[in-house]
Amino acid sequence: GLPGRVTIYEVGPRDGLQNESAIVDVAVKAEFIQRLVDAGLTTIETTSFVHPKWVPQLADAAELLERLELPEGVRAPVLVPNERGLDRALAANVREIAIFASATETFAAKNLNSTLDDQFAMFTPTIQRALAEGLTVRGYVSMCYGDPWEGDVPIDQVVKVGARLVELGCHELSLGDTIGVATPGQVTALIAAFDAAGVGVDKLAVHFHDTYGQALANTLTALRAGVTTVDSSAGGLGGCPYAESATGNLATEDLLWQLDGLGIETGVDLEKLVATSVWMAGQLGKPSPSRVVQALAG
Ligand code: HMG
Ligand code: MG
């Protein structure tokens, strides 16, 4: 069966913008987030406290958060890789963070300047201290279904990384298809493998990039397996500057078209969201890659 309600975890301001090389003004970012809230999104990953030289676009994280006026009940997690990032997030009064792990050696090196094992030396004290401060911690696993340098990724390797994040205290695990290569059979198999390792589907979220146009099929497969949290990016913005061939995330509008059609509640207003993505496309000077935005805005 399908769930009656799905939580959309909006990553546009973070995953969407991190890949834009032209720096977007902090006021535009703040308005983007405010408009996403107006459209009914209640979980919005707003920015990253990573090294500003690694992702210059998000160097304004603290200033952005200071500008936001989020209503009660809106969750605003931020990406944090290490204790230095946690210090900055705490100083900005963040209540929720997301740690991001790699399932492969090569991406751990390229994205975190680390190794598959050593990344946990960075995450362990960060998660422990965040939990002690009363924060909520999400865990991402990247390259779950394929890696641009290593090709196939052994499923056991993915599960091992994810299960370790859950053991460390992550309340939720987001399974990243960083380069958008997954197909539905892999999604079914990975969710089953996590279940067999003691990480139930109630702890899982899915995060698909749409490079090969499989994101919606993969999402529906995950929903049928019991997943109720889906990551997506308004307008289909996104990509990872440290992952070759990564394109935008599943567009929130494309996701919403499917969920609305299935009668699944999200609380999000499609018309307002499309208007937001059209406005944002104007700011970025290029059209949204979302099929639904193109269809409805055309
Ligand atoms: P490093 O160079 O190894 O860092 O980078 P370090 O620990 O050796 O420290 C070097 C210097 O950087 C020190 O300063 C630190 O204080 C400073 P110094 O003492 O030399 O003056 N530093 C920092 N400054 C500000 N904020 C920080 C920070 N950390 C250290 N947080 C590091 C290691 C992890 C920091 C770096 O590799 C990094 O920032 N990586 C982030 C890359 C990134 O953001 N990638 C995109 C997000 S992941 C993604 O998109 C995938 C996802 O969407 C899921 C999916 O699709 O699969 C989540
Ligand atoms: Mg991503």
CA distance 196 to 35: 41
Residues 6+ apart with CB under 8 A from 7: 42, 43, 228, 229, 230, 266
pLDDT in the model for residue 177: 97
Q: For 68-77, write each residue's pLDDT tens digit.
A: 999 999 999 9
pLDDT of residue 239: 74
By most ligand atoms within 8 Å of CB, the mutation choice from 10, 11, 17, 50 for ligand 1 is 50
The three-state DSSP-derived secondary structure of the chain is CCCCECEEEECHHHHHHHCCCCCCCHHHHHHHHHHHHHCCCCEECCEECCCCCCCHHHCCHHHHHHHCCCCCCCECCEECCCHHHHHHHHHCCCCEEEEEEECCHHHHHHHHCCCCCCHHHHHHHHHHHHHHCCCEEEEEEECCCCECCCECCCHHHHHHHHHHHHHCCCCEEEEEECCCCCCHHHHHHHHHHHHHCCCCHHHEEEEEECCCCCHHHHHHHHHHCCCCEEEEEHHHCCCCCCCCCCCCECEHHHHHHHHHHCCCECCCCHHHHHHHHHHHHHHHCCCCCCHHHHHHHC
Using an 8 Å Cβ cutoff, are 213 and 183 in contact? no
Asked if pLDDT for residue 117 goes beyond 90, the answer is yes
> What's the whole-number mean pLDDT along residues 204-233?
98
The average confidence (pLDDT) of the chain is: 97
Instruction: Please determine, for residue 210, whether its predicted confidence score (pLDDT) is greater than 90.
Output: yes
Which residues surround ligand 1 with Cβ inside 6 Å? 15, 18, 48-51, 54-55, 79, 81-82, 84-85, 88, 100, 111-113, 140, 142, 176, 178, 207, 240, 242
Contacts of 43 (CB under 8 A, 6+ apart): 7, 8, 9, 10, 74, 75, 77
**Average pLDDT of span 31-49:** 98
Q: What mean pLDDT do residues 106-135 have?
A: 98
pLDDT at 145: 98
Q: How far is the CA of 53 from the centre of ligand 1 (A)?
A: 8
User: What pLDDT shows up at residue 193?
Assistant: 98
Q: Which residues does residue 206 pair with via DSSP β-bridges, in sequence order?
A: 175, 230
φ, ψ at 70 (rounded to 5°): -95, 135
Report pLDDT digits (tens) over 158-187.
999 999 999 999 999 999 999 999 999 999
Distance CA 80, CA 89 (A): 8
CA distance 277 to 273: 6
Percent of the chain exceeding pLDDT 90 equals 95
Banded pLDDT at 251 (limits 50, 70, 90):
very high
Bigger pLDDT: 239 vs 152: 152
Among 79, 240, 251, 293, the active-site one is 240
Residue nearest to ligand 1 atom 23, measured at CA: 51
What is the per-residue pLDDT for 245? 72
Query: Residue 203 has what pLDDT?
Result: 98
**Quick check: pTM over 0.90?**
yes
- The Cα–Cα gap between 2 and 224 comes to 5
pLDDT given at position 179: 95
Q: Is the pLDDT of residue 134 over 90?
A: yes
User: Alpha-carbon torsion 68, 28, 232, 165, what sign?
Assistant: negative
Amino acid 26: pLDDT: 98
pLDDT at 242: 81
Check pLDDT > 80 for residue 240.
no
Q: From atom 3 of ligand 1, which residue's Cα is the shortest distance away?
A: 113
Q: What is the end-to-end Cα distance of the chain in Å, rounded?
A: 34
Question: Given ligand 1 and candidates 48, 51, 138, which is best to mutate, with the most ligand atoms within 8 Å of its CB?
Answer: 51
Q: What is the pLDDT of residue 243?
A: 79
Q: Give the model's pLDDT for residue 249.
A: 96
Q: Residue 100's pLDDT is what?
A: 98
The residue-averaged pLDDT of 267-272 equals 98
Is pLDDT at 298 greater than 80 in this prediction? no
Mean local confidence (pLDDT), 253-274 = 98
User: Tens digit of pLDDT for each residue in 142-165?
Assistant: 999 999 999 999 999 999 999 999
